[in-house]
Structure 1
């Protein structure tokens, strides 16, 4: 693998690892904050629904107080009650005797009697009489056999014996839709013990009633459902309120995480391209030329070639040192050739001298052998004889004849 390719692989791997690690941290740290923010928004939505419901009850209480100021001849008729969205109207004497009453169905407008509100008389211990605070106005939610009822009760004065007026409005789909429009969410209410409550919601009742913190879950439809409890008219937790919100906040978090990943990858890719372009021009290209120059020298065996690089950085220093090394190598090669030539001549002379020495050695041995033979021969006697002959040259015949 070439150096440029290896650098590209390393840079891409580093950028990819950084992008994945950054994305994992964002998924681990950032996205949960969006989910927590979404959960808090759901809790605030439940609070807004409770406030809107309290506003409905307060409006009903104001209407009840206005009716309480009228005399019997001006009590609201059916048309006025229908226009105000009031399905229950009771006017009771101080002893609980019903002086006037009207209970109708919210949808059809047909009479709809309720066990909790008999048409003859109400017990003075009934919660609408506010037994703990006789004569005080009360309002709240109350569960009946025909559904949840928003009820407001008040008297003309604070006297317990004063006439008591009760107004009620069923918490039907129209009212629930109005509450949802006010809070820009989908709202649902169930009594805590209602069997018609969905199983997934009923499973969270104990958890919702056991904590003051918001409880929420993601439904099968992918929306966030937040829960809260509502008290009835006696101040006891009696209803489960569920508010459905689109998961726009967590979707923004997911979008933010994806955008961060894409932007990180894009920035990393640009960084890799910039680094690769710079490295190719500054490092990889000059190194490739230096490598090609070295390969050419090795292939041609021409040590006279030079790579001239006009640079002052490490690459330029390396090129100049390489040229200097090649020059030194050329000079060393010349010296080696001269030394080899001299060594060859010396070897030839040594061979000649060796051969001459062998000849001289043979001559010397022959001389020694000849000298030894001469010493062992009768040459000395012959020399004496020659001397005697030379001494008696003049009378050699007589000497030979008479000499013993």
Structure 2
């Protein structure tokens, strides 16, 4: 699979996941909000219909109070001898006022007048709820007057709805106040005026026009044929409300308003209306067009389409840019790497391992910086005049460490050349020259048949030997450069200033391990580096390198004669707010408690062949680096830890 195809498939997968996630979020989080908003709007529409009925009842109450304040009615109710109220006046008033029923009662609840514009339905309209002679004192419309017990109390109208044979009736009972000139009637109202208006189809149509809602009502106790038909069609919400209406306590405590997704374009909302006694007697229904959810679905579909098109356009543009910016240059680089591999030019072998121009540029830039830094180091004068004796001893000690490594590397190279199978190539060539019929020798002779195998093994051995010698030569070159740096560092004594340069401590630890790689390998000592790369620190790199080489060299000498599992050295890199700490840990011979501080004194040593200059130089160099060096050990054969603390931002020195 080509790189181009991998990138295309990866981008398609990413965009597909994004589009799928977006679609899932819209369907699971956004669209339900549209539906919830739609349901809430539908409930508000049904509530507005209920409020419209309540306003009609309020208007009816206002009109009834105006009628109850007419002096003729009040006077007739106050005069028991002459209670004549003309029914014709109310019959003329009913059509123009929208009233369907009027009744006047005296203070004993006897009927003084009753009339209705529904001539043939008068009996059914007044049946049960409106007796012909005297109304019972517990009648719902008379509860306000019955509660008036004192002179200061004022009777208020009783208003609400009642179910009659003619249909739902909006009804108001207004107390008729006595005229002030008759003090015998001041303690209570002299009668009651009852007015009512049917909740007819015309009134329902007016409410629908006013609220712009398709509004319907259905009796609960006396189910009509239309309601039964709807139940048979399976409207579960309506059936549930009827069942709830049977349980008055449960219904009154919850006041339900249920919604039903009747179709993809219509939503139904159901609730109830209660009569004067507080019992539900009407089921209400509102049919709402599902404009919100339909528009929400359209918006989300448009958003998904736009997202898909945008993703497709972005994918095409990104592929074009990748072709010109990444894939094309990588193809050219691959061809160049193949050419280098064919010609065998080993001077650029490190670049062959890189896969892009940025990596090569970074490596070349680092090399250029290193060359410039080395050039500047060679131009510095001698640095210090005082302490030349100790400096010379420290230099000799450091040079001795380097020479030890160089000697080990030289011996290893000599041993590699001594064991080289290169002379075997000459023998094979001589054998081939001696054969007259080379083809027969290679194809039929048993010794000749082994030539390809021998040549392959010989080539493999020489290749391994070549890599080993190259690695050792690089280590030898690094040691020579370190020796050169040690010599150049002595020039700093003449100027009295240290050479400060940005140093990557993590990289420096690897350089120290590489400098000592030959002697470490000779004794089978493993160096493990723990920590992560840190920002560069401004410090004297040469001096710090010499300190670390001495510390790692001492740790090597401490473990070289121990079993293999203890020949381990750990280099730990830690940081605090103001310091960076380098720890050199070993499991070697350890330090006696009384010698933990003495080992840093000049001339003191615990080695049979030591001179006592290495650690003394290290502690002085640490102080010059504005840091400190101290040792820790639990005693003999318990290993040791040397901790070098350095400031993150040295205050002195010349930055390079």
Distance 2:61 2:21 in 1: 59
Tell me which residue corresponds to 1:89: 102
TM-aligned CA distance change 1:9 to 1:152, over 3 Å: same
Unaligned runs of 5+ in 2: 73-84, 149-154, 179-186, 246-250, 345-353, 362-425, 437-656
Rg larger in 1 or in 2?
Answer: 1
TM-score by length of 2: 0.43
Tell me which residue corresponds to 2:111: 98
Find 1:174's aligned residue among 189, 193, 202.
Answer: 202
TM-aligned CA distance change 1:267 to 1:348, over 3 Å: closer
Tell me which residue corresponds to 1:203: 240
CA positional deviation for 1:35: 1.9
Report the secondary structure of 1:203's partner residue.
Answer: helix
Residue 31 of structure 2 corresponds to residue 31 of structure 1: yes
Q: Deviations over 1:37-90 (max 9, x none)?
A: 222223323332222211110000111111112224698543432122211122
Distance 1:224 1:152 in 2: 34
Aligned residues of 1:40 and 1:214 also touching (Cα < 8 A): no
TM-aligned CA distance change 1:221 to 1:121, over 3 Å: farther
Distance 2:244 2:24 in 1: 32
Q: Deviations over 1:166-199 (max 9, x none)?
A: 1111111221122223332122222333322332
TM-aligned CA distance change 1:318 to 1:343, over 3 Å: farther
TM-score by length of 1: 0.66
CA positional deviation for 1:140: 0.7
Residue 256 of structure 2 corresponds to residue 242 of structure 1: no
Tell me which residue corresponds to 1:116: 128
Q: Deviations over 1:238-295 (max 9, x none)?
A: 3222222222232333234323322322232222122111112122334455678899
Aligned residues of 2:177 and 2:189 also touching (Cα < 8 A): no
Tell me which residue corresponds to 1:272: 315
CA positional deviation for 1:213: 5.4
CA positional deviation for 1:147: 0.8
Distance 1:256 1:221 in 2: 16
Aligned residues of 1:176 and 1:187 also touching (Cα < 8 A): yes
Tell me which residue corresponds to 1:260: 303
Find 1:143's aligned residue among 155, 159, 163.
Answer: 163
Unaligned runs of 5+ in 1: 304-312, 321-341, 353-404
**Structure 1, 86-95 or 4-13: larger mean CA deviation:** 4-13
Report the secondary structure of 2:177's partner residue.
Answer: coil
Root-mean-square deviation (CA, aligned residues, Å) is: 3.7
* Structure possessing the higher relative contact order (Cα contacts under 8 Å, 6 or more residues apart): 1
Distance 2:289 2:141 in 1: 39
Aligned residue-pair number: 319
